[in-house]
A and B are shown apart, each in its own frame.
Chain A
Amino acid sequence: MEYLLHLFILISICAILGISLNLILGYTGLLSITHAAFYGIGAYATAVMMVTHSFPFFPSLLAGLVLSGIFALGIGSILSRFSGDYFALGSFGFNIIVSSLFINLQGLTGGPLGISGIDRPSFFGFVFSDRLAFLALAIFFVVMIYLLSQWIVRSSFGRTLKAIREDEKVVQVFGYKTLHYKLAIFVIGAMMASVAGALFASYSSYIDPSTFDLTGSIFVLAVIVLGGLANTKGAVFGAIFLVLLPEIFRFVGFPSALAAELRQVAYGLTLVLLMLYRPQGFIGAYKF
């Protein structure tokens, strides 16, 4: 039972990452391969605030939101000038820079040794220490972000984003400053990812840079491509599938070191096969 709860919590965190990347990639068409960096900024902000400065969880989460928003604004304004391949490569580079910061700013982040001893959230005296309570909290956030995402998508703002995805030049001709739209959704997506980071930090009580590097971004990419781009439900399905699938390896009894590599092979092959045979993923809302 504990183990199931553990999996569901991981799925929830993953779903938040998927939904948020979907806004950037699925709806707006920006191939961002740096989502894990914002996940990490949220996680580290929370960890540092809670462990070094003894702040409670929710203010720390807020700090993470603000920090990743600022970073997203910074790199976003550079990248939003581009699209397609250059956007992707630039975002790739950004992820590596952020990883490098996590590893090298050892005074702040503890470097490769990470930060441990992060507490569970407490809310006016109630501590979310057991898994069921934490799952409830996580699901609360998933639902909020899901609703927010749907609201954005159905608004005229969302329609403009989809139009940008289809043909940016035409949208510009109509007088829209597409740069602002792209930047806005990039920042929103990044801030949502930081929420996932805060939850992860508090849940696992220990974080280190290796979770937030390129492999992490590729994983989130696989989640939404699998579930189907431009579909919020798809992101959730992708999260469920890709978190549960490797657990099968564990049951079949693979040693844990091998299982990690096999998981990577599975993610990589999933992406390749999907691109070859079903780029629109499970739900199939957007074929790109």
Chain B
Amino acid sequence: MIPQLILNSLIAASIYSLVALGFNLIYSTTKFFNLSHGVVGLIGGYVTFYFTKTLGLEIIPSVIVGILAAGLCGYFLDKLVFRKLRNKHASDMVFLIASLGLMTALQAGLAIVFTNQFKLFSIETKTIHFFGLMITYVHIMTLVVTVIVTAGLISLLKKTRFGKMVRAIGDDVEVSTIVGIDTNKILSRVFFIGSAIAGVSGILSGLDVGLGPNMGLSLLLKGVIASIIGGVGNVYGGILGALLLAFIENIGAWQISGEWKDLFSFGLLIVFLLFRPQGILRK
């Protein structure tokens, strides 16, 4: 039982860390908590669902379309809303409230277009049993994809010129502009990449348990908690935070009861806010 618990936690942690990854990327550069992050990821899931189930496209191209859709969505939100607010030097509160408004409107929009009915990709189950553990194909994909995306993002940030510019903006936006970096262009790309990663998590989550319009919020919250307890703005922190969160949740569900899962997640957040608000790892 314990090994299965660990495996389940790893899988949950993968999804959470993907959300945290994109969220942290956006936060480290723009310095605000983008609350629309989760619903944008969910849009990726819904688009994939639409293409594969309604239009009948094969699963892999549908997934690619879904990821692109999520990325584009983030890109446009930046272009239409966040960039304008940046140009006005709006305060953090304004950004937060604007992203909150976007989250509300987009989530309701999904419910209108796709209805409130929960959507399942398939009812088939393909599991592999090994060493007394069991894991589904979707779970294996989740683990593999998470590793690939994380490694990809880290090398992007560390090894490319683009990554350097991203980090520069994260350190000091004004100096970066003075030095000649086209901050708006880089930030657009950051939004695209971050949102695309969120899209991946939305799709993987959808493939595992299905899609509902309010899943964007739960994805977001888990990602946010993972980011904060791991250390906001720190890529590795997000991963650590995700692991810790997933373990605590699963242990809690095991020992006490499944319905209190949300309580554990937020209880953990409050504990960290009380004792170590900067998170496990510093930036």
Binding site for B on A (CB under 8 A): 29, 31, 33, 78-79, 81-82, 84-86, 88-90, 92-94, 96-97, 100-101, 103-104, 214-215, 218, 221-222, 225, 257-258, 261-265, 267-272, 275-276, 279, 288
Q: Give CA–CA (A97, B92) in the complex, Å.
A: 25
Whether B93 lies near A271 (C-beta < 8 A) is no
Which one, B95, B101, B107, contacts A270 given CB within 8 A? B101
B105 at the A interface (CB under 8 A):
yes
Whether A271 lies near B98 (C-beta < 8 A) is yes
Whether A288 lies near B259 (C-beta < 8 A) is no
Whether B104 lies near A288 (C-beta < 8 A) is no
Known contacts A88-B96, A275-B85; is A261 also within 8 Å of B263 by CB?
no
- List B contacts of A265 (CB < 8 A): 104-105, 108-109, 112
Q: How many A-B residue pairs have CB under 8 A?
A: 124
- List B contacts of A81 (CB < 8 A): 277
Whether A89 lies near B94 (C-beta < 8 A) is no
Whether B97 lies near A225 (C-beta < 8 A) is yes
Whether A268 lies near B270 (C-beta < 8 A) is no
Whether B277 lies near A82 (C-beta < 8 A) is yes
Q: Give CA–CA (A122, B273) in the complex, Å.
A: 44
Chain A to chain B: the 3 pairs with minimum beta-carbon distance, closest first? A268-B105, A271-B101, A268-B104
Q: Give CA–CA (A264, B260) in the complex, Å.
A: 27
Known contacts A84-B92, A90-B273, A275-B90; is A221 also within 8 Å of B100 by CB?
yes
* Closest-CB distance, A193 to chain B (whole angstroms): 19
Please, how many residues of chain B have a CB less than 8 angstroms from a CB on the other chain? 43
Q: Give CA–CA (A100, B270) in the complex, Å.
A: 15
Whether A78 lies near B269 (C-beta < 8 A) is no
Which one, B93, B95, B266, contacts A93 given CB within 8 A? B266
* Closest-CB distance, B99 to chain A (whole angstroms): 9
Whether B93 lies near A276 (C-beta < 8 A) is no
Whether B101 lies near A268 (C-beta < 8 A) is yes
- List A contacts of B112 (CB < 8 A): 258, 261-262, 265
Q: Give CA–CA (A271, B98) in the complex, Å.
A: 6
| Minimum CB distance partner of A106 in chain B | B259
- List A contacts of B269 (CB < 8 A): 89-90, 93
Whether B102 lies near A100 (C-beta < 8 A) is no
Of A221, A270, A276, which is in contact with the most chain B CB atoms at under 10 Å from its CB?
Answer: A276
